[in-house]
Amino acid sequence: MAVYTYRARDRAGQLVAGEMEGEDPGVVREHIARDGLIPIAVTPKPREFSLALLGQKKPTSKDISNMTRQFQVMFSAGTPIDRILLTLAKQQKNVVLQKALTLIQRDVATGIRLSVAFKKHPKVFNTLYTSMLEVGETGGALNIALKEMANIMEKEDVIYAKVKSATLYPKIVVGVLGVVCWGMLTFVIPPFKEFYAKYNADLPIPTQIMLFASKMVTTYWYVPVIIIGASVYAWKKFAATPQGRRFKSYIGFKIPVFGRLNLLVANARFGHLTAALYRSGVPLTSALSVIAGTMTNVFYAADVMTLKTGIEHGASLSKAMEQTKHFEPMVQEACAVGEKIGRIDELLESIAKFYDEEVDSMLKNLSTLIEPILLVLLFGMVLLLALAIYLPIWNISRVVLHPH
């Protein structure tokens, strides 16, 4: 989504300016109006190049979750928000987060609402974060909102850390395989080329493929570098388009092993977020809009918006889920039971925890699950190398005794 700058007036008639992320100016105007402001102008923010922030990284989810937990602890102790923000800004190691908190502190000190001040920094604090703050601030339960947000972010940090750790083994295997192939193409294949060139031998196709690859690596090395670089650039550009996001989302749910893992993570995230927002007093339709905006898979986000549309047309949450494809049956059942007994948040949270355990179990066994894929990859590469090298050797007597 694009970032827009806006100017508006509050209920007292004072001018308020800031930034907000949105799909288009109309969406931004709606968000501003919901904050109790009267929008005057909304314009796309031009891209900035700042030497001061050159090389500075965007804060990680862990940075923000730690900051949120500290915010919640100090707020629970009765520390004024202005002082909390000043303290948090001073102790941040990430320059981008430090600058954002400093600006938020200045805005709050001038009388701007906390959630509105946070919304001015959409590249640091996403829609879910600012929505939770707004709900907590409006309902007088900021402490609960901060605690829920910290819990959600910490859970997601744990999942991503486990995914990163579990995929380390296949990354090492593929990396070693790549190094071995490079060594073969650079040092082993060229002597065969020189030997067979003396006899004008007809080489088998696997050997011709390896000789061609060897020539690319040793002589025209810049060609694969350019091709790889151009491919990566083109993929990033394509992935940023609506069609690219749909393609990535489709592959994300269809790829062996990881497709199932991604689906479980999405269902667990839906359960945690819906339960947290529902407990915080957010209307279900508003909560679903926020959740859809935080989902990286566009098909799952579309399913969440289908729920919102169904509820707006009078359907229950569980009934609306019947029109979707990516909600697990247990999630649908939890919603149906929760609606009957009036404890939908508790049941969704329980189901989300169950899927957390399922994800954890899959991650622990990930190496075992992807071993067949790695074995096929390794076997294919070894077979190609073996055929490329040994097929000509089997015919060496014919080549030497009967040269062309």
Q: Cα(293)–Cα(269) distance, rounded to whole angstroms?
A: 13
Lookup: tokens for 318: 């569980």
- Supply the angle between the helices 222-239 and 242-254 in degrees, to the nearest 10: 100
334 within domain boundaries: yes
Sheet holding 2-9, edge to edge: 15-22, 2-9, 38-44
Q: Cα(95)–Cα(63) distance, rounded to whole angstroms?
A: 11
CATH code for the domain in which residue 118 is found: 1.20.81.30
Phi and psi at residue 60, in whole multiples of 5°? -80, 165
Residues 75 and 103 grouped into a single domain? yes
Residues 269 and 357 grouped into a single domain? yes
Number of domains in the chain: 3
232 within domain boundaries: no
Residues 65 and 143 grouped into a single domain? yes
**152: buried, middle or exposed (CB in 10 Å: 19+, 13-18, 0-12)?**
buried
> In angstroms, how far is CA 226 from the centroid of its own chain?
27
Residues 30 and 113 grouped into a single domain? no
305 within domain boundaries: yes
Inter-residue contact 342 to 265 (CB < 8 Å): no
25 within domain boundaries: yes
Q: Cα(316)–Cα(332) distance, rounded to whole angstroms?
A: 11
Residues 9 and 90 grouped into a single domain? no
Residues 7 and 96 grouped into a single domain? no
Lookup: tokens for 198: 């003396």
The one-digit pLDDT tens for each residue of the chain (404 residues) are 567 788 888 777 777 777 776 667 777 787 788 777 888 888 877 644 343 444 467 888 889 999 999 999 999 999 999 899 999 998 888 899 999 999 999 888 888 889 888 988 888 898 888 888 887 887 777 888 888 888 888 888 888 888 788 778 778 888 888 888 888 888 877 777 676 666 666 677 877 888 888 888 888 888 888 999 999 999 999 988 889 989 999 999 998 888 998 999 899 989 988 888 888 777 888 888 888 877 889 999 999 999 999 999 999 999 999 999 999 999 999 999 999 998 888 999 999 999 988 988 888 887 777 778 778 888 887 887 777 777 776 666 555 555 55
Question: Which parts of 184-257 fold into alpha helices (H)?
Answer: 189-197, 205-218, 222-239, 242-254
Q: Which residue has the tokens 């190691």?
A: 93
Residues 11 and 77 grouped into a single domain? no
Residues 343 and 281 grouped into a single domain? yes
350 within domain boundaries: yes
377 within domain boundaries: no
Residues 85 and 18 grouped into a single domain? no
Residues 6+ apart with CB under 8 A from 9: 15, 16, 37, 38, 40
Residues 359 and 263 grouped into a single domain? yes
215 within domain boundaries: no
Q: What is the DSSP string of 9-42?
A: E-TT--EEEEEEEESSHHHHHHHHHHTT-EEEEE
93 within domain boundaries: yes
CA distances from 11 to 8, 16, 21, 143, 289 (A): 10, 11, 23, 26, 26
pTM of the model: 0.69
Range of the domain at 152: 61-158
Residues 37 and 72 grouped into a single domain? no
Residues 70 and 40 grouped into a single domain? no
